[in-house]
Structure 1
Amino acid sequence: MSDVEKYNAAASAENSAVIGFLFKEFQQALPTATFKVWHGAPVWFLEDIPVVGYQDHTHGTKVLFWSGKDFSEPGLLGLGKHRAAGITYTDVASINVEDLRRYLRLSTEIIWDYRSLRPTK
């Protein structure tokens, strides 16, 4: 069992369905990505650059897109001083699948390389 599968299995009962759904969507949308638990949460990487991850929280499952501010999507809220943006899902019914899939597609097209702090496209 991978570290991400262990993380998912240990998720709160309230968030386990959302986490399971997100895991499948991420795997489908990012088939060439590697993934691991990084800084305490599952994160997907393209060429060793983090692009998306999720975290089990008391008030839902938080999804973070490392380059999300540059997606120009009103459904994502900017986080921190860099280019990250995210969204919180409280249950599977709260997930707009069309939006999620668009965000995941954008995460493969707009990638900030935080090692050099310049975008690669």
Structure 2
Amino acid sequence: MKSQTIDEYNQTLAKEFSAIANRLKNLIDTSLLDTENKLWHGHPVWFINSNPIVGYSLQKKGVRLMFWSGADFEEPKLQPGTGKFKDASVFYNSVDEISPNDIKNWCQKAIGIQYNYRDIIKNKGQLERIN
């Protein structure tokens, strides 16, 4: 059965990954109070004005926490993606690896550093910084 909520998504994961996902959800929720969150393309994602800013998903390397504009955060723990876009990620395999201060800091940066992913199709694949 397909997950309908972020909590349901987290419950479908193996125990160790579910614990990571629950911790990330709680930290993101408390760091980003005025955001919308939902399952988007099957994974938990948080949005500001319909623009995706942070999300996580289970991958082979662990639970991937991704910030859509994270490449501009200048944070050594966040590894940039392919270079085509501005995403950056970190992988977790244990709850103990999660630093609440890092998550809170990165979420605050996500509010202030955003590229317009919401309108990327309308803008013919070009990313524009919106703040």
Give the alignment's TM-score, normalised by structure 2. 0.86
Q: Which runs of 5+ in 1 are unaligned?
A: none
Identity of aligned residues (%): 31
Tell me which residue corresponds to 2:57: 55
User: C-alpha distance in 1, partners of 2:100/2:21?
Assistant: 14
Runs of 4+ in 1 over 6 A off after TM superposition: none
Residue-by-residue CA offset, 1:37-92 (whole Å, 9 max, x unaligned) = 11121000000000000012343210000000010111110113100000001111
Residue of structure 1 equivalent to 2:19: 17
Q: Distance in 2 between matches of 1:73 and 1:19?
A: 21
Matched, 1:120 2:130: yes
Amino acid at match of 1:118: E
Instruction: Tell me by how many angstroms 1:4 deviates.
Output: 1.2
1:88 alignment counterpart: 91
Query: Where in structure 2 are the equivalents of 1:42-81 lying within 5 Å?
Result: 42-80=44-82, 81=84
Which structure 2 residue ranges, 5 or more long, are not aligned? none
Look up the SS of the partner of 2:15 in the other structure: coil
Aligned residue in 2 for 1:105: 108
**Offset, 1:11:** 1.4
Q: Report which of the two has the higher share of strand.
A: 1
Q: Deviations over 1:7-55 (max 9, x none)?
A: 0111122211111100101110111111111112100000000000001
Q: C-alpha root-mean-square deviation of aligned residues, in Å?
A: 1.4
Distance 1:98 1:40 in 2: 27
Contact 1:18/1:61 (8 A) holds in 2:
yes
